[in-house]
Structures are given as C-alpha cells and as structure tokens.
Amino acid sequence: MALLSVIAIDGCKNNKTKMQKELLTFIKKFDSVVQPLSKDASLAYWNASISGKDDDWAKAEELNIQLTKVFSNKEDFAVLNRIKEADAITDELLKRQLDVMYNAYLGNQVDTTLLNSIIKMQTEIEKKYSNFRADVDGKKLSDNEVEEVLKTSTSSAVLQSAWEGHKAIGPVVAQDIINLVKKRNEIAKQLGFNTYHEMSLKLSEQDPDEISKLFDELDNLTRDAFAGLKGEIDAFLSKRNNVKTEELMPWHYQNRFFQEAPAIYSVDLDKYYKDQNIETLTTDYYTSIGLDIKDMIANSDLYEKPGKNQHAYCIDIDNEGDVRVLCNIKPNYNWMNTMLHEFGHANYDKYIDMQLPYSLRNPAHTFTTEAIAMFFGRMASNAQFLVDMKLTDTADARIVSAEGFKVLRLEQLTFSRWAQVMYRFEKALYADPDQDLNKLWWELVEKYQMIKRPADRNQPDWASKIHIATSPCYYHNYLLGELLASQFNNYITVNVLKSDNFGQCYYGKPEVGQYFTEKVFKPGARYSWNELIEKATGEKLTAKYYAGQFVN
Ligand SMILES: [Zn+2]
C-alpha cells in the first residue's frame, strides 16, 4: 500500500515535470513566433491607418491572416489541450499563461470552411452597411447626416422621415444577420458551447450568469432615476418639438437609437477648449498625476491628414513600451475627452510590468483598460479640471459644476439603459434566432429605454445597429468599463486620498498615478479581471458605485 502510493506520487511528480517542460518549450516557441509577427502586424496597421494607401492596407491584412493562422494551428492546440487536461501545472504564472494561450487558440479551432464562410458573410453585410444611404425625402443621407437632422430639426415630420430613412437598412441586412448568427452558433456548438453568445463571454473569461446578474443589479439601481430624468427629457423635447409628451416618438430623441443623451441642458463645454492646446493639456494633466506620457506623445500621430483614419485609437506596438495614439485633435470638448481617454489606455499599456511573460503583457481584460480610459475621459467635463487646468475661474466653475455633472449623469444613465437593450437582445438572439426578433427588440426598448414603439411597427429595427452584425457580443463591455471607472473613483477618493469629495479631477496628485501603476497597470494579465479588481479595490466588480455616482 505504502509502496503503491509512493509510486503514484512519483508518477505524478514525473508527469508534472514533463508537462512543465513541455509547456516551457511551447511558450518559447510561441513567443518567438507571435511576438515579432504581432509587432509587424501592429506596425503595418498603424502605417495603413495613417497613409490610407491600398498597399499598406494589403500588408496589414496579410500579416493579420498570418497571425490568425498561428492560432488556428491544430497540432499546437493539441499540445496546449493535453497540458491543460493533465492539470499538472502548479506554478501560478505558467498556469496563467496556459489559460490565456488556450483561450486564444480555442476560438480558432473550427474547420476553416466554416470560419471562412463566416468571414465572407460578415464582409458582405459590412459592405451593405457602408453602401447604404438613408433615403430622406428624395435625398441620400449618410449616418452622420441623419444624426445631424435628428439633433437639429424640430419638425416631427422631418425627424420621422430621417429616422425611418435610416431604419430602412434593417430589411436589407436582417436575414443575412440571422444566417450569420446561426453560423456563429455552429462554431460555438463545434467547440462545445450552447450558443455563440455563451462562447464569446466564456472565452474572454466572463461567466454569462455573473454578467447577467450585474445587468439586473444595474437595472434595479437605475430604473427610477432614469424614469425621473426621462420625464425631464420628455418635458424638454415636447416643448422643443411642439408635441404632447404622450405623442413623443423614437425620432424625437436626437439620436438614431437614443443611445446618447439629448441636449436638454444649456452648458457649453466647447467654449473652454476652443483656444487651447489639447495636446499640452493632456501632457500636463498626466504629468501632474505622475504618469509621464511625453515619450508616447512623441511617437503618436495626433492631427488630421489626408487619407488618415478619422477616429481615434491607442495601440501597443510591441508589448515592450512602444505605445502610440492616433487622434485628429480639434480644440473642443470631444477631443479633450478623447485624448484623455486614449492616453488612459496608453498609460495602462506602458506601465505593464515588462518582466512579465510576453503573453501576460496585456490588460487584464478589454473592459479594464476601457475603464481606465473612461475614468480619465470623464475629466473633460469636470469643473475642478477646468479650474486646475486654468480654463476658467472658480466662480464660473461653480455654475459648470452643477451643469457639467448633470450632463455627465444624463449621458451615463441614457447609455446604461441602452446597453441593457443591447446585452439582452444579443443574448436572446443567439439563444433563439428564429423567434419574433422585431417584437423582442421593441419590448426591450420600451422596457429599458422607456420610449414608445410606433403604432403597428413590425420592422427589423434591431438590424439597423451595425454592432450586432460586426462586433458581436461585445457591447456589454462598454458598460462594465463605466461601472469599473466609478468603482475606481470611489476607491481612490476614500482609500487613496482619504477624502469624501467624489468629484475630484486628481490634478497634482501623483499618488493617483502611483495607485493605478502599482495596482492595475503593472499586473497586466497575470490575474483574471475580477481577481485584479478585487486586489485593486477590495471588492469584485459591482454596480453600486456607478449607481452611487449617477443615481440620486
Ligand atoms: Zn477606449
């Protein structure tokens, strides 16, 4: 008996050593292939998005295909799978690398024909979206132009035709999307998941039940406050458009989806930024909290150029400190917010511990880096920020303080109710793509956004939201980012600064930069996201601080 157990332990030890050795060999090979390849791919993408040239785009695409090939390799995955099943890795960092690589490979382990047909279907749908122009009273309008009409017109008839013109994309793509959803579900089933929604969440280490619980919690916390604000919105819009509140329709809400707050307050934040150097303000702000961004600013591309990508993003080129930001700065509120946002991402990437193994030199989750970006982006409407950055005086800031906060609260609550619709719709869509989706969509819109379905409307209005087709099962991460931004704000105020002023901008407080560096940035992906959040704030992710900040 004794002898047997000694043999068993020995066998166990041998297996452990063998597995560990095998994993180390795998990692060495993985790093030597993936690190240079993904650096090349990032550089190519960066160059293409600045030049806009076909040749540059072709190069970026080619490198991307090569990278995807690495992760769809069946033999490599078999090695990872065997090591994982043996469950013999005990070293914390090795185990974590194994999990991260395993998840990255798993999503690509389906037959190539299926994968390719999905890529093709998605590209076709994207083309239909790009080529679509809303037909509004004989004129063809782009999305931006439709948004402009919805924001500026006060004629119900004009608003209705713009809104309906935009929704006409729905019937063009709806059946394609349903087919795509079914294909995506096939992938999920091949890999042992019930639906593609479940698969997407689980592969990014999110437990669908846990995420649903957070959304329920947030729904309960925000419902009454939103209903109150919705009353304010309706009163304002009814007067502005000269219609009775009970006659307000979806096209009166100044946005195609009512995902952004209508402009019901009079505060004008642009005026504080119109004569300012946004780049300098960003550098000064981050320097004052102890985060040096000068090196990254120097490598970035911050102003408009012909052919250049018109939006903004941050990219970690090599996971070794070469972090760059693309922007198209104009001196206004939006770009101040965006610069603070993107350099929030950039700091996260820059200050990740470079001693970590390569595959862990990433944020814990896409939404944890989103949270940092949102945390700093919010400063652009913060009254104390305007004072500390010498953009206004204290007396004026008192006025901004009340109004600026009201704007932020309205933006947050409006977005949070919209995100509820998106999360619940996608979950139900993948669970049963054959159900009456038009009905489901409007039931969710009425329940969460509290706006009225136009009488007898039975159109695939859900299909007019491009994210459902092209960025599936991802939208909820934006809301999780906002929740975490509020959780950080609370933790830092109470525990780092020992204060009860929750509206600070943290200018001149290097302990804030130090907190983020030590507790959030440095660990990279060495912990799963909720473990990281618990270590950094003493609690798992919760909706209560978001509610505390924006409800009341
Ligand atoms: Zn972001």
Virtual CA dihedral for 63, 528, 419, 140, nearest 10 degrees? Answer: -10
Highest mean pLDDT, choosing among 46-50, 57-61, 144-148, 495-499: 495-499
Residue 367 CA to ligand 1 centre (angstroms): 9
At 509-518, the pLDDT tens digits run 999 999 999 9
pLDDT one-digit tens code per residue, 437-453: 999 999 999 999 999 99
Distance between Cα 274 and ligand 1 center (Å): 24
- Are 482 and 221 a contacting pair, CB within 8 Å? no
Q: What is the mean pLDDT of residues 361-387?
A: 95
Distance, CA 341 to ligand 1 centroid (Å)? 6
What confidence score (pLDDT) does residue 131 get?
A: 85
Give 249 Cα–ligand 1 centroid separation in angstroms.
32
Which residues lie below 8 Å from residue 294, measured CB to CB, with a gap of 6+? 283, 287
Tell me the mean pLDDT in the region 321-349. Answer: 95
CA of 279 to the centre of ligand 1 (A): 18
Averaged pLDDT for residues 461-466: 95
- Nearest in space to 365 (alpha carbons), one of 489, 505, 216, 210: 210
Ligand 1: distance of its center to the CA of 271 in Å?
Answer: 25
- Please, are residues 308 and 50 in contact by the beta-carbon 8 Å criterion? yes
State the distance from the centre of ligand 1 to the C-alpha of 373, rounded, in angstroms: 6
Please tell me the predicted confidence (pLDDT) of residue 500. Answer: 94
Is it the case that residue 532 has pLDDT exceeding 60? Answer: yes
With pLDDT > 70 as the criterion, what percentage of the chain qualifies?
98
Judged against a pLDDT cut of 80, whether residue 9 lies above it is answered with: no
Instruction: Give the Å distance between the CA of 378 and the centre of ligand 1.
Output: 12
Would you call 189 helix, strand, or coil by DSSP?
A: helix
Q: Cα angle vertex 51, ends 45, 56, to 5°?
A: 50
Q: Are 328 and 303 in contact (CB under 8 A)?
A: yes
Residue 288's CB is within 10 A of a number of other CB atoms, namely 18
Is residue 472 scored above 90 in pLDDT? yes
pTM (2 decimals)?
Answer: 0.90
CA 243 to chain centre: 36
Note whether 108 and 80 are within 8 A (CB): no
Label residue 241 left, alpha or beta by phi (over 0 means left) and psi (-120 to 50 means alpha): alpha
Determine the distance separating the centroid of ligand 1 and the alpha carbon of 374, expressed in angstroms: 7
Range ranked top by mean pLDDT from 53-67, 123-137, 203-217: 203-217
pLDDT at 12: 67
Q: Are 247 and 265 in contact (CB under 8 A)?
A: no
Determine the pLDDT at residue 143.
83
Gap from CA of 252 to ligand 1 centroid (Å): 29
Least confident of 13-27, 31-45, 243-257, 503-517: 13-27
Read off the pLDDT of each residue in 405-422 and give the average, rounded to a whole number.
93
Ligand 1 center–CA 99 separation, angstroms? 25
> How many A from CA of 284 to the centre of ligand 1?
21
Q: pLDDT per residue over 52-81, tens digit each? A: 888 998 898 889 889 988 999 999 999 999
> 135 CA distance to ligand 1 centroid (A)?
32
Q: Is residue 8 pLDDT above 60, yes or no?
A: no
User: What is the rounded average pLDDT for all residues in the chain?
Assistant: 93
Decide if pLDDT at 424 tops 50: yes
Q: How far is the CA of 42 from the centre of ligand 1 (A)?
A: 17
Expressed in angstroms and rounded, the spacing between residue 281 Cα and the centre of ligand 1 is: 19
Predicted pLDDT at 124? 87
pLDDT at 11: 62
Question: How far, in Å, from the CA of 4 to the mean position of ligand 1?
Answer: 57
- Express as a percent the part of the chain with pLDDT over 90: 80
Q: Which of 183-187, 189-193, 261-265, 395-399 has the lowest mean pLDDT?
A: 395-399
Give the pair of three-digit tokens for residue 61. Answer: 């695409």
What pLDDT shows up at residue 397? Answer: 85
pLDDT band at 111 (very low <50, low <70, confident <90, very high): confident
Q: Is the pLDDT of residue 1 over 80?
A: no
pLDDT at 123: 82
**Using an 8 Å Cβ cutoff, are 252 and 236 in contact?**
no
- Number of Cβ atoms within 10 Å of the Cβ of 147: 17
Which alpha helices (H) appear in 73-111, and where do they start and end?
A: 74-86, 92-106
Q: In the predicted model, is pLDDT for residue 7 greater than 60? A: no
CA of 342 to the centre of ligand 1 (A): 6
CA of 548 to the centre of ligand 1 (A): 23
pLDDT band (50, 70, 90) for residue 494: very high
The answer on pLDDT for 2 being more than 70 is: no
